Amino acid sequence: MGMENKTLKLRLPELMAPAGDMTSLRAAIGAGADAVYFGVVSMNMRASARNFAAEDMPEIARICHEGNARAYLALNTIVYDRELELVEQLISQAVTAGVDAVICWDFAVIEIAMRYNIEVFVSTQMSVANSASLIFLYRHFGIKRFVLARECTLEEIISIRKHLTERLGDDAENIELEVFAHGAMCVSVSGRCFMSQFHFNQSGNRGECRQPCRREYLIKDVRDGKEFVLGQDYVMSPKDLCCMPFLDKLLEAGVSSLKIEGRGRSPEYVSTVTACYREFINFYDAGRGSEGFAEKLAVLKKELMARLDSVFHRGFSEGFFFGRQIEEWTGGNGSKATHRKIHVGVVTNFFKKVMVAEIKVSGNGFACGDELMFQGATTGVVTLRVESIEEAFKPVERAEKNSLVGVRLSGTVRENDQVYRIVPVDDVENARQ
Q: With beta carbons less than 8 A apart as the criterion, state whether 245 and 301 touch.
A: yes
Q: How confident is the model at residue 1 (pLDDT cuts 50, 70, 90)?
A: very low
> Which pairing describes strands 101-104 and 371-376: parallel, antiparallel, or unpaired?
unpaired
Q: What is the pLDDT of residues 97-132, one digit of tens each?
A: 999 999 999 999 999 999 999 999 999 999 999 999
CB-count burial class (<10 Å; 0-12, 13-18, 19+) for 361: buried
Kindly list the distances between the CA atom of residue 328 and the CA atoms of 60, 74, 239, in Å, as whole numbers in the listed order.
Answer: 37, 29, 6
Q: How many CB atoms lie within 10 A of CB 392?
A: 9
Highest mean pLDDT pick, 301-305, 314-318, 324-328: 301-305
Calculate what percentage of the chain has a pLDDT beyond 70: 88
Put residue 37 in one of left, alpha, beta given phi > 0 → left and psi -120 to 50 → alpha. beta
Identify residue 182 by its one-letter amino acid code.
H
Distance CA 392, CA 387 (A): 17
Would the pLDDT of 196 be above 90? Answer: no
More confident residue, 143 or 6: 143
Rg (CA), the chain: 23
Task: Collapse the DSSP code of 380 into the 3-class scheme (helix H, G, I; strand E, B; otherwise coil) and give the result.
Answer: strand
* C-beta neighbour count of 132 within 10 angstroms: 12
- Higher-confidence residue of 432 and 217: namely 217
Torsion of CA 361, 367, 368, 371, to 10 degrees: -80
Residue ranges of E strands in 172-248 = 176-183, 217-220, 227-230, 240-242
The whole-angstrom separation of Cα 195 and Cα 215 is: 12
Amino acid residing at 87: V
Task: Give the DSSP letter of residue 151.
Answer: T
Query: By the 8 A CB rule, do 249 and 7 touch?
Result: no
Average pLDDT score, the chain: 89
CA torsion sign for 343, 349, 353, 356 is negative
Between β-strands 380-385 and 176-183, what pairing exists: parallel, antiparallel or unpaired? Answer: unpaired
Digit-coded pLDDT (tens) for 205-241? 676 777 777 777 777 777 887 776 666 666 677 788 9
**DSSP characters over 38-54:** E-BTTSSTTTTS--B-G
Report pLDDT digits (tens) over 249-258.
Answer: 999 998 999 9
* Banded model confidence at residue 420, pLDDT cuts 50, 70, 90: very high
- The model carries a pTM of 0.86
Q: Provide the H-helix boundaries in 54-194.
A: 57-66, 84-97, 107-115, 131-141, 154-168
* Contact (CB, 8 A) for 258 and 294: no
Q: Rounded to whole angstroms, how far apart are CA atoms 17 and 14?
A: 10
What does the pLDDT read at residue 428?
A: 59
User: What's the pLDDT at 201?
Assistant: 76
Domains of the chain: 2-187+239-317 (3.20.20.70), 339-432 (2.40.30.10)
Please determine, for residue 187, whether its predicted confidence score (pLDDT) is greater than 90.
Answer: no
6-12, Cβ contacts within 8 angstroms, sequence gap of 24 or more:
6/165, 7/161, 7/162, 7/165, 7/172, 7/254, 8/158, 8/161, 8/162, 8/252, 8/254, 9/254, 10/251, 10/252, 10/288, 11/251, 11/254, 11/255, 11/256, 12/251, 12/281, 12/285
Contacts of 77 (CB under 8 A, 6+ apart): 42, 43, 44, 45, 47, 106, 205, 206, 207
Lowest average pLDDT, out of 134-143, 217-226, 312-321, 361-370, goes to 217-226
Q: Can you give the pLDDT at residue 312?
A: 85
pLDDT of residue 418 exceeding 90? yes
Q: Is the pLDDT of residue 159 over 90?
A: yes
CA distances from 185 to 214, 251, 261, 366 (A): 11, 21, 9, 37
Return the pLDDT at 325. Answer: 67
**DSSP assigned state of 413:** -
Mind giving me the DSSP string for 114-129? HHTT-EEEE-GGG---
pLDDT at residue 44 in the model? 62
Residues 163-173 have a mean pLDDT of: 95
Helix (H, G, I), strand (E, B) or coil at 7: helix
Say how far apart CA 348 and CA 361 lie, in whole Å.
10
Cα 53 to Cα 49: distance, rounded to the nearest angstrom: 12
pLDDT tens per residue across span 59-88? 999 999 999 999 999 998 889 999 999 999
Instruction: With residue 343 as reference, give the H or E element that holds it.
Output: strand 339-351
Query: Which of residues 255 and 1 earns the better pLDDT score?
Result: 255
Q: What is the pLDDT of residue 237?
A: 75
The mean per-residue pLDDT over the stretch 379-387 comes to 95
